[in-house]
Amino acid sequence: MKYGLIIPTLNAGEQFRKLLEQIQEQTLPTEKLIVDSESTDGTADLAKKFFPEVLTIRRKEFNHGATRQKALEHLLKRSAVDVVIFMTQDVLLHDNESLARLVKIFGENKTVGMAYGRQLPHVNATNEAIFLRSFNYPEKSQLRSFDDRKIFGLKTAFASNSFAAYRVDALQSVGGFPSHVPLCEDMFVAAKMLMQGLKIFYAADAQVFHSHNYTAAQEFRRYVEIGKFHAQESWIRNTFGSAEGAGKKFVVMKLSALAKKNPLDCIGAIFRDAAKFFGYRIGRLKG
């Protein structure tokens, strides 16, 4: 089985060098490609020192789904890979087996179309960011099928574009990455695969460090886009269920956990949760 690795970049910053060095130390051999959106901080030049090819696109042409699809098609012209790994520029690999553990399932289970790994908080993560990572990325691996929507609802199609791998023929069978969605292309593909009878695997032993300390304004903007996505792709909610009920339970659990560590953290968390709620609602209306 042959593997590819693609990373979209834009002004990746100082940490990116460490990620590139970590990739060089991985035990899994991969065909590598960077797709850069006209970085101005030397990201592309740095990547050329580590990767055999950097594909440059215009910044205004970037789209989470379309750019990934373009990069995949470009890589396939160079090498017929069976599985492609996508990572974002802001992750750090946990160890030199991270990639190998992520793709192991594809050799063991032919019904798996997509796998994503566990995300651990960065060292500078807030208590809120730490809780979010533990909630979305638990210690135990999980194999999900379409039937699991009765148990997990929308969470059945949960995935992450920060550290995920796709069986190429399975990805192509659902039309590849969508070009028309603002974000959440990973959920779009996961939902399509599940509906087609394929399975999604969460590999808890394949780990990266990845977290964000978002402000309320940043959360608002993100959730406007998420709301737009759910409005435009209403078939996902109609098929798997709404996220709002689970969201209320999550907020209660999070505030309870934060109160035990530092009650003052609850204040900022409430503002951010409110920003998410109103952003999502506005996005749904705009969608």
Structure tokens at 109: 């289970």
Average pLDDT (216-237) is: 93
**H/E/C letters for each residue in 105-119?**
HHHHCCCEEEEEEEE
Average pLDDT (214-235) is: 93
Residue 247 has pLDDT above 80, yes or no: no
Query: Could you tell me the pLDDT band of residue 257, with boundaries at 50, 70 and 90?
Result: confident
pLDDT of residue 246: 63
Average pLDDT (96-118) is: 98
Taking the C-alpha atoms of residue 205 and residue 120, their distance in angstroms, rounded to an integer, is 11
Residue 244 has pLDDT above 90, yes or no: no
pLDDT of residue 245: 56
Domain ranges for the chain:
3-209, 216-286
Query: Could you tell me the pLDDT band of residue 5, with boundaries at 50, 70 and 90?
Result: very high
Average pLDDT (102-117) is: 98
Average pLDDT (143-172) is: 95
pLDDT of residue 95: 97
Residue 240 has pLDDT above 70, yes or no: yes
Average pLDDT (148-157) is: 92
Single pTM value for the model? 0.94
Taking the C-alpha atoms of residue 129 and residue 141, their distance in angstroms, rounded to an integer, is 21
Structure tokens at 276: 């998410």
Measured in degrees and rounded to the nearest 5, phi and psi for residue 158 equal: -65, 140
Average pLDDT (142-169) is: 95
Q: What is the pLDDT of residues 47-72, one digit of tens each?
A: 999 998 999 999 999 999 999 999 99
Average pLDDT (222-251) is: 85
Taking the C-alpha atoms of residue 54 and residue 42, their distance in angstroms, rounded to an integer, is 12
Which DSSP state fits 262? -
3-209 CATH fold: Spore Coat Polysaccharide Biosynthesis Protein SpsA; Chain A (3.90.550)
Q: What is the pLDDT of residues 120-132, one digit of tens each?
A: 999 999 999 999 9
pLDDT of residue 183: 87
pLDDT of residue 252: 86
pLDDT of residue 12: 95
Is residue 161 helix, strand or coil? coil
pLDDT of residue 181: 82
